[in-house]
Chain A
Amino acid sequence: MVKNIENVRNIEKLKETFSNVTKEISKVIVGQEEVIEQVLIAILCDANALLESYPGLGKTTMVKTISSVLDLKFSRIQNTPDLMPSDIIGTYVIEEDKGKKMFRFQKGPIFANIILADEINRATPKTQSALLEAMQEKQVTVGNQTFPLEAPFFVLATQNPIDMEGTYPLPEAQVDRFLLKILVAYPKFDDEMEIINRFTKEEAVREVKSLLSKESLVLLQQLTRQVPIADDIKKRALEVVAKTRTAKDLIEYGASPRASIGLILAAKAKALLNGRKYVSAKDIEDMAYPVLRHRIILNFKAERDGKTADDVIKELLKN
């Protein structure tokens, strides 16, 4: 009972903890609060996110900073068409020990806690699938040996919406594995002014403190799933997902049940991140955009009308 009370008190402090994490990240990253929040949501859900932005918007810096604040091992994979799966997951190398030759597994960059897979659509489908398998299974298999990946494991893949020549767009089935598709917009004028002030000075960008340990992050991931949700809010989430399948005047292919799971989980994580112990209807509405935008395929009519996935989701939420 005493332990339970102590745990409850710790939960009360969660909002403050997350607020401190955000503050610490903002020491390096200017603005982009929504993006940071969505990345943290994906981490809390123990899921992966697809980041879509133009080059030079600070994705790598952001992910690096987040990994430092969360005390996580970070690695970056720059995807290119000649990148092989073994370059990511690792390979067996021959090693000689006391005159005896033996194979030793050389771990690839996938063996980290946070992976930034830059421009994932530039890798070949073979390499993409190797990465996506690791994302899904949280383990890699080389030959006949399976290597589990250390928890927490989180992949943040990026893709460039322009310059699509020579790319291998992710198939729908693989895109579906990303919990969120996060859009990074250009910074606001004032934010950009702050960015140039920070990064053009002589002194280096301030170092950030790590505020959470791996263990506490795993515990937070467990807590996220425990956040209670009311039945009518759950129904609302399912209705929104179901509408993507029935709104044939706008959508050609709707979202899968994985989207329903993702929407509820993301809403739970958002609630926890905001220090709430319950999911609100607004959480569902807010998370519907990043959860559904990459899971629906607009029909010709909607595209001809110049509608984006977000416009369609907005319409679905209105009805």
Chain B
Amino acid sequence: MDRIKSLFIEVKGEMLKVAFINSFLDAIMVFLIAYFVISFFNIRLLYIILMPGVFAMVFFFISMSLNIKRMRLKQMEDANPQVKEMLRTAHDNMSQDNIMMAALFEELKGKMKTVSTGNLMDSRRIIVRVISAVALVFLIVFVSAISIDLEKIDIPFDKLRFMIPGKEEIFAEGSLAELAFNETEVIYGDASVAKLGNDQIDLNMNPSLSKIDFTQVSEAEDEALRQGGVVQEIGANPDAFSSQKLLDDAEQAANYTQRIKDI
């Protein structure tokens, strides 16, 4: 019977709507979760929106195709037990054309008026989705407000650090404590890059940039004394090049190194 066929097409349409709504809600959840996770990292705003968007889109299409595949008359029956056997009977006897089938169709048509997309929707599931979405939105707003950046946080668990994007190469092998301070390769990069070899390098220095005109310094001192002010050191301090200064600097550097080692 054509009328029954059209009724079933209508039913399938309703089920398709439900599949769409469910997939859409799930995709929103995926988007928010992905956005929430990504917002912890210092990534450009464009990617923060783009990446969860791509995830959500892919999820939506996969979920939609799975829902359509799973779409069976049984779903409709389970959601509407009052029409369960009636619907199944009408479906199995579509080819029959008699008074009883006509009566069944009339009754089914009447009952199907009460069967809408709402009956097929799992209200509990929708409520959970909506509440979760609202909670996630609040969390995202909160995280944005306090500007959490995982890369800046000193994570006590060294093994977790490799999870930070862009740090995988450095922390891929062993923990930070295992790295010797003198492993310059790690600190300064590839040693071969810095190696100069025995090639002669010609360095040309422009004397005008380093030459000190002591005449000018003296004049400046005199000028300052003439004005009754404090003598200001304009030129280079001869002490800066003294051996004592170099020793102090070396000692300070050694102390600093020792402190870092102690850490």
* A interface residues (Cβ-Cβ under 8 A, vs B): 4, 7-8, 11-12, 223, 226-233, 277-281
Contacts and interface: CB of A to CB of B under 8 A. Distances in A.
A8 B103 contact: yes
A4 B85 CA distance: 24
Interface in B21-68: none
Given A228-B96, A277-B107, A4 B89 contact: no
Interface in B67-109: 85-86, 88-93, 96, 98-104, 106-107
A291 to B, nearest CB: 20
Interface of B: 85-86, 88-93, 96, 98-104, 106-107
Contacts of B102: 4, 7-8
A227 B92 CA distance: 12
Contact of A229 (B89, B98, B107): B89
A277 B108 CA distance: 10
Chain B binding site: helix, strand, loop or mixed by DSSP? Answer: helix
Chain A binding site: helix, strand, loop or mixed by DSSP? Answer: helix
Contacts of A228: 89-90, 92-93, 96, 100-101, 104
B89 A8 contact: no
Given A228-B92, A228-B96, A278-B89, 7 more contacts: A223-B99, A228-B100, A229-B93, A230-B85, A230-B92, A233-B85, A277-B104
Q: Which of A4, A230, A232, A278 has the most CB of B within 10 A?
A: A278
A12 B102 CA distance: 11
Given A12-B103, A277-B104, A277-B107, A226 B98 contact: yes
B85 A11 contact: no
A185 to B, nearest CB: 30
Contacts of B98: 226
A223 B88 contact: no
Given A228-B90, A228-B93, A8 B85 contact: no
Contacts of A277: 86, 100-101, 103-104, 107
A186 B150 CA distance: 83
Contact of B100 (A223, A233, A280): A223
Q: Which of B86, B92, B93, B99 has the most CB of A within 10 A?
A: B99
A230 B93 CA distance: 7
A231 B96 CA distance: 13
Q: Which of B91, B93, B96 has the most CB of A within 10 A?
A: B93
A280 B98 CA distance: 19
